[in-house]
Amino acid sequence: MRRLLDLLPQPADEVVQLGGPYRPWLVRYGGRAAIIRASDLERLRRLGFSADLAMSSIEWLHDFLRDLSGTGFAAPAPVDDLRGTSVVSADGAIWELLTFVPGRSVDWVECAMRRAGDLLARFHDASLRTRPRPQRPGALPMSDCRPLDPRAATARTQLEAELADIRAGLSGVVHGDATQANVVLDGDDYRLVDFALGYEESLVFDIAAALWRNGRADPNSVTYDPRRVETFVRGYHDVRRLDANDDRRIVACMMARGLQLQQRLELRGGVDDTVMQRLMSIERQQSDLCEAIASAIS
């Protein structure tokens, strides 16, 4: 960290980590506040990233965030204060400097879900106004998600049956994890933060990835609350109109999000059985979830 701070144009007045390991830092220097993110190269190697691939991947993200800033959408943007750049490699990590988006965490309340859905739709409008770009280096799109856990086979089969229909819809750069945990409230304004998982994907996948967490009965639950799902999708639909068949597509993409998370878990040798428990809950609840989404977009 010291080598990174020495690259700043002014001495750091304050450096505070925002949470536990792998969480970003808030740094104040020269009258401004910014966010420092660190990606451990050894951890990335376990996910199949070489140092060069990891750097290319993060540079891709910063290029997109610069474009996104140009649309007027409020989100973290690269800060070129690390000797003229926003990304550097040092001390076994890749470091990023981004603007600080102020705000407090959004409460786990149903009424916030409609605003969160509205926010994601507005982000998609902005994302579609950015320049076309190739896929992010090292991305794991849903079409490539084939975890080894045998319990995932049914969901993978269902996803394959829906993929062509899903791909026929709009695609663009998605947030990848637009859940309540990555939304902050600044006054009455909802803001998206932490775009680390962004890549090119079908937009309905981004709705589903948000529902992976936002649609749960409570943050730690392994089952889903159709009413919360309906509320979030209704907020999205208020801004960006969804199609009649998007209920089925979104639920298929919720399964795809589970497959994606399980594959990443397997790649890094982690253990978290709640991923498969939630995936199997979506399989069991898919009729109720489709009905809730259909109600939101009818």
Mean pLDDT of 59-73: 99
% of the chain at pLDDT higher than 70: 100
The CATH number linked to 77 is: 3.30.200.20
Answer whether residue 36 shows pLDDT above 80.
yes
Average pLDDT, integer, range 47-63 = 97
Structural domain count, the chain: 2
**What φ, ψ does residue 224 adopt, rounded to 5°?**
-120, 150
What pLDDT does residue 226 have? 98
Across residues 280-292, what is the average pLDDT? 98
Do 153 and 245 lie in one domain? The reply is yes
- In this structure, what DSSP letter does residue 30 have? T
Are 111 and 41 members of one domain?
no
Residue 9 has what pLDDT? 97
Same domain, 51 and 186: no
The string of DSSP codes covering 60-128 is HHHHHHHHHHHTT-----B--TTTS-SEEEETTEEEEEEE----EEPPS-HHHHHHHHHHHHHHHHHHT
Residues 243 and 206 in one domain: yes
Q: For the ranges 38-42, 107-111, 132-136, 257-261, which has the lowest average pLDDT? A: 107-111
Whether residue 196 sits in one domain with residue 63: no
Q: Distance (Å, rounded) from C-alpha 99 to C-alpha 36? A: 9
**Do residues 60 and 136 lie in contact, with contact meaning Cβ atoms separated by under 8 Å?**
yes
**Residue that finishes a domain, picked among 83, 99, 115:** 99
From the list 234, 250, 237, 230, the residue with the least C-alpha distance to 169 is 250
152 and 239 in a single domain? The answer is yes
* Type of residue at 106: V
Residues 91 and 112 in one domain: no
Structure tokens at 181: 């945990």
Cα–Cα distances in angstroms (integers) from residue 60 to residues 33, 85, 195, in the given order: 23, 13, 12
Is 210 found in the same domain as 172? yes
Are residues 109 and 88 part of one domain?
no
pLDDT of residue 21: 78
Q: Quick one: pLDDT at residue 22?
A: 80
Mean pLDDT of 115-133: 98
Q: Which of 99, 116, 137 is the last residue of a domain?
A: 99
Q: Which domain holds residue 50?
A: 2-99
Do 68 and 206 lie in a common domain? Answer: no
Give the tens place of pLDDT for each residue, 143-193.
999 999 999 999 999 999 999 999 999 999 999 999 999 999 999 999 999
- The CATH code of the domain that includes 247 is 3.90.1200.10
Domain boundary among the residues 70, 99, 128 is at 99
- Give the pLDDT confidence of 216-253 residue by residue, as tens digits: 999 999 999 999 999 999 999 999 999 999 999 999 99
Write down the pTM of the prediction.
0.96
Residue 20 has pLDDT above 80, yes or no: no
Domain match, 75 and 198 both: no
Contact 108, 228 (CB under 8 A): no
**pLDDT the model gives residue 193:** 97
Q: Do 136 and 245 have their domain in common?
A: yes
Cα–chain-centroid distance for residue 206?
A: 8
Specify the pLDDT at position 89.
96
pLDDT computed for residue 125 by the predictor:
99
Place 19 in a pLDDT band, splitting at 50, 70 and 90: confident
